[in-house]
Structure 1
Amino acid sequence: MNKLVEVQDLGLKDYKETWEYQEQLFQSIVDLKIRNRREELSLETPNYLLMVEHPHVYTMGKSGDLEHLLLTEDQLEEKNAKYYKINRGGDITYHGPGQLVGYPILDLDNFFTDIHKYLRFLEEVIILTLKEYGLKPDRSPGETGVWLDVGTPFARKICALGVRASRWVTMHGFALNINADLGYFDNIIPCGIRGKSVTSLNVELGVRKVDLAEVEKKLLQHFSTVFEAQLKA
């Protein structure tokens, strides 16, 4: 089992370009697994973790409802935002500058073949990262992602998750709000969940800006520990 994960920091990159790149990496792993099976080979499958920020964009998962996007095409253009219907699970979410997005493209045969466990592990990576900043993040029963003040009227989501998997190869991933412009969430019903707000790390810490690179470094350390993976740049 290959637990080496190649980390690629893409900086600020267009969502559609990143999605297409994900698809290329994802398909290359799937194709290799099919070849291994057909030709009775045991070629090692690679793993990747893409770290990126996106310009303003709304993405809708396979189970999403278009009514959860509260903007017209003209209003999207006014806000300099794009919209895509994509092939991950979940409903609608927002990505933008100040949000750290991670796309693990892993062959889970190298780790464990359990999607629910995979989602819980991603949540755990985020939870451990946020605890380093003195927060008390938690899971919300029945609601994928990472939340604060779960079970109270003040529950708010700080990290969204949405993944796709085929032949135990994953794509898409998590979006952690660090210095995000939360006003953009007002234009959707985030993840299709009404009545619950969204927050960002800088808001919770009461500071203007958090060092995104520092958060990314901590997150990668916890990813390595939780997944028992060796990361390489």
Structure 2
Amino acid sequence: MKGLLLELPLTAYEEVHVLQKRLVAERASGRLDRDVVIIVEHPAVYTLGKRGGRENLIVSEAFLAEKGISVVQTERGGNITWHGPGQLVAYPIVHLEKARMGVADFVEFLEGVMVKTLASLGVTARGDEVNRGAWVGAAKIGSVGIRVTEGVSFHGLALNVAPDLTCFSWINPCGLTISITTAEKELGHKVSMEMARVEMKQKFADLFSDGLSEVTLADLGCEW
């Protein structure tokens, strides 16, 4: 069966979060009969996981408010992270039982999507069974954090293609004192976000026996 692909432009995190929860409910109930992969970029925002993360903010929330950056609590696993322009984010709404995947298998698949996307761009990366995500040497280039509700996964992955890393310097990403890198930094030249989207779509298509079919918000019966 084909999966569904919803590509969005730069869109506020909170709006896509609401959309995810709606699609999860519809997938769990059967009203939505296929899995959906959302690919998007967000304006700058910090998100907190189930393990919290405010303690890993190096700057004050008042400082962030002055910068127009919000801090949002979420249901996903993990700690604090940042999303923003130049970072490619994917939210796969997948019924794991029907996909015949366990949570660990699915997280490994998401790491693989990032590693393979990076390879297509010319960057050699790896996953990590202890500190999940995508890594180039000791530097983190992509994050994974999911939540499973009624057997359906949401949240997902965030891959640093070409973001400004300044905002990462204001946190301990994922609760760790680590270096953060990007595809552009590793390659030493500009990387097209459009090319990164194309490559990531191809890697997600491997999850479905008949690939992905592109849809719009209207096709899904959703409006902002």
TM-score (ref. length: structure 1): 0.87
Structure 2 residue 21 is matched with structure 1 residue 23: yes
Q: Identify the match of residue 54 of structure 1 among 33, 39, 42.
A: 42
**Gap runs ≥5 in structure 2:** 215-224
Q: CA deviation at 1:52?
A: 0.6
CA deviation profile, 1:190-216 (whole Å, cap 9, x unmatched): 00112x101111111111x31111111
The answer for the alignment partner of 1:40 in structure 2 is none
Question: In structure 2, what is the Cα distance between the partners aligned to 1:199 and 1:158?
Answer: 5
Runs of 4+ in 1 over 6 A off after TM superposition: none
Task: Please tell me whether the aligned partners of residues 64 and 192 of structure 1 are also in contact (alpha carbons under 8 angstroms).
Answer: no
Query: Which structure has the bigger radius of gyration?
Result: 1
Task: Please tell me whether the aligned partners of residues 24 and 149 of structure 2 are also in contact (alpha carbons under 8 angstroms).
Answer: no
Question: In structure 2, what is the Cα distance between the partners aligned to 1:72 and 1:228?
Answer: 47
The answer for the alignment partner of 2:115 in structure 1 is 127
Q: CA deviation at 1:103?
A: 0.3
Question: In structure 2, what is the Cα distance between the partners aligned to 1:226 and 1:106?
Answer: 10
The answer for the alignment partner of 1:215 in structure 2 is 196
Equivalent position amino acid for 1:140 in 2: D
Q: CA deviation at 1:131?
A: 1.2
Q: Identify the match of residue 178 of structure 1 among 161, 178, 181.
A: 161
Structure 2 residue 182 is matched with structure 1 residue 200: yes
TM-score (ref. length: structure 2): 0.91
Identity, in percent, stands at 36
The answer for the alignment partner of 2:222 in structure 1 is none
Q: CA deviation at 1:227?
A: 4.9
Question: In structure 1, what is the Cα distance between the partners aligned to 2:208 and 2:127?
Answer: 18
SS in 2 for 1:11: coil
Q: For 1:74-223, what aligned pairs fall within 5 Å after superposition?
A: 74-149=62-137, 155-194=138-177, 196-207=178-189, 209-223=190-204
SS in 1 for 2:107: helix
Structure 2 residue 21 is matched with structure 1 residue 66: no
Question: In structure 1, what is the Cα distance between the partners aligned to 2:207 and 2:3?
Answer: 13
Equivalent position amino acid for 1:161 in 2: V
Q: CA deviation at 1:228?
A: 4.1
CA deviation profile, 1:174-196 (whole Å, cap 9, x unmatched): 000111110100111100112x1
After superposing the two structures, state which structure 1 stretch, 73-82 or 173-182, moved more: 73-82
Task: Please tell me whether the aligned partners of residues 6 and 231 of structure 1 are also in contact (alpha carbons under 8 angstroms).
Answer: yes
Question: In structure 1, what is the Cα distance between the partners aligned to 2:46 and 2:131?
Answer: 19
Q: CA deviation at 1:140?
A: 2.6
Closer, same or farther in 2 for the Cα pair 1:46/1:225, shift >3 Å?
closer
Task: Please tell me whether the aligned partners of residues 45 and 107 of structure 1 are also in contact (alpha carbons under 8 angstroms).
Answer: no
CA deviation profile, 1:135-167 (whole Å, cap 9, x unmatched): 220123401100011xxxxx1010001000122
SS in 2 for 1:113: coil
Question: In structure 2, what is the Cα distance between the partners aligned to 1:60 and 1:225?
Answer: 30
After superposing the two structures, state which structure 1 stretch, 126-135 or 14-23, moved more: 126-135
**Gap runs ≥5 in structure 1:** 33-42, 150-154
Q: CA deviation at 1:117?
A: 0.2
Q: CA deviation at 1:44?
A: 7.2
| Residues paired across the two proteins, number | 214
Task: Please tell me whether the aligned partners of residues 223 and 229 of structure 1 are also in contact (alpha carbons under 8 angstroms).
Answer: no
